A and B are shown apart, each in its own frame.
Chain A
């Protein structure tokens, strides 16, 4: 399947290309594992952790580079960055709940409202 036609067929939501969203979601799953999975394995040596994390990061970069390459042009750099931050925030919160067993609280919902507002603002203007 051609990437360009896949990009076209997935369409948009609130001005955000859904192909980009999917690619960033996949990439952030790997990124959050590469960054924080080692927090529960403090006894492992730091060099080993760096190389294992880097190995996991290959999959992160496959999705991230493909997504941003397809979208760049109609999406500007700050738009790419802010969408990436929203998705990495979601990934981190879910990861902290599932893997690090941290508690969630209602204040986080307000934070997410602000972050989503910033994404909608930078993609669509006021």
Chain B
């Protein structure tokens, strides 16, 4: 249960991050001036496309977790059958994953997409293992997931610039 809550929190944080970065915008269009309303309409379409892409990515990642790890529960299965079953599960994954990346790439940068992909792959994995393997997530797992996500963000994001110049007092 703890795992599901953490996963939902991660997904929610992604949506909130996109709202702050301006990609998603849910202001009420009726309050806007007339000249802005056309813009609002395109924003509405953009919201719809981004939300669709995000949902597709999330589903793709849950299916991917199933394809990668579901066979581990059936230890008696021969390896060749396990490979073919996993590969068959991968088809719906690719069916969702490739169009989602194309749709998302119209509005989001490749960096944003890749960070979202990393967050969703961890969240999808947590959801899948909690449901299918009935595993509880430990605090240790949570710490290493968060460390992983922070590292992945640093790897994918363009260099963060911090201004080290402090104002000096005139002598």
**Residues of chain A at the chain B interface (Cβ within 8 Å):** 34-35, 38, 46, 49-50, 53-54, 57-58, 61-62, 64-66, 68-69, 72, 77-78, 80-82, 84-86, 89, 92-93, 105-108, 110-119, 121-122, 125
Contact = CB atoms under 8 A, between A and B. Distances in A.
B46 interface: no
Contacts of B157: 107
B131 interface: no
Contacts of A49: 98
B122 A85 contact: yes
A113 B68 CA distance: 26
Nearest to B118: A85
Contacts of B68: 64-65, 68, 84
B82 to A, nearest CB: 5
B103 to A, nearest CB: 10
B151 A107 contact: no
Chain B contact surface mostly? helix
A85 B148 contact: yes
A106 B153 CA distance: 14
Given A49-B98, A68-B72, A72-B72, A61 B153 contact: no
A111 B152 contact: yes
A117 B147 CA distance: 8
Interface stretch (B12-20, B27-35, B47-55, B85-93): B85-93
A106 B160 CA distance: 11
Given A77-B133, A114-B147, A121-B140, A46 B102 contact: yes
Contact of B155 (A80, A89, A117, A125): A89
A122 B49 CA distance: 37
Contacts of B121: 85
Contacts of A78: 129, 137, 141, 144-145
A37 B92 CA distance: 19
B38 interface: no
A115 B157 CA distance: 15
Nearest to B114: A92
A89 B122 CA distance: 13
Contact of B154 (A53, A72, A110, A118): A110
A54 B145 CA distance: 28
Contact of B87 (A58, A77, A115, A117): A58
B163 to A, nearest CB: 16
Contacts of B79: 65-66, 69
